[in-house]
Structure 1
Amino acid sequence: MGVALDYIIYMTYDLHGQWDYGNKWTSPGCPNGNCLRSHVNLTDAINSLSMIAKAGVASNKVVVGVTSYGRSFKMAQAGRTGPKCLFTGSFGQSNAAKGEYTDTAGYISNAEIDSIISKGVSQQYTVEDSNIIMYGDGTEWVAYMA
């Protein structure tokens, strides 16, 4: 494939999202597809890029896309962490709080993330090379690339 193409654009984001809801195949151990998973994951990105290289695609033909936003979810239970945490909503409907600037549920800009963090109203942690914040009443969850 690398011989026939001038370049390949590889998105290192949107690996998971609200669209996972109801899909038992999206994530091992999550039969309903509504487990909180980050849309960015450094380990997954590196492993995928390794497979592209092993397939013989020259690295100068791969353009790596990065994100400037986070995916947000409304948690089913406040303050939980771990692989069994669930989000609410449905396949096409996020119950997450809308961003101050984006005015969109399920999507929050880096500027909005920075604002939340600067106000000191969030809990921050890292899971599988992804940055996470929880804020509001402990049910707003955002995964982002820092």
Structure 2
Amino acid sequence: MYSLPAEFEQFHWMVDMVQHVDIGLVVLDKTYTVHVWNGFMTHHSGIQPHEAIGQNLFSLFPEIPAYWFKSKSKPVFELGCRSFVIWRQRPYLFKCRNVRPITQQAPYMYQNVTLNPMTSPKGEVEYLFMAVEDATAEAIAEGKLSG
């Protein structure tokens, strides 16, 4: 019986995890072109990967202020450090519908977003990846506590 090389199997697993993890994963280059758009992002935004990949982030989501987002991503590209968009500062980066049945009180998905550098083998940061977390339940719970 033929067995796939371990590296290929691990690569397949990684691709499967990226597509099915319960967090949004988006990869952008320095021109803000989308290179990766995982299943979480498709499910919540309604935008298919073939519609997102190769497109400019600000064309796909004109509600994202380009100047503001570029200032958030500048330390990621220039210093190789993380940057954060917290729902308390800005309720969402990507205006996505709220699809959680328990938290339907919210008109959209509240998000915490981490912008992470992607370092090349040469140590250069040419890309960043965004990890988009659904923070809707937390936002609703906090609203009920303070309300």
Task: Identify whether the pair has TM-score above 0.5, normalized to the shorter chain.
Answer: no
| Bigger RCO of structures 1 and 2 (CA < 8 A, at least 6 apart) | 1
Normalized against structure 1, the TM-score is what? 0.28
TM-score (norm 2): 0.28
* Structure with greater helix share of residues: 2
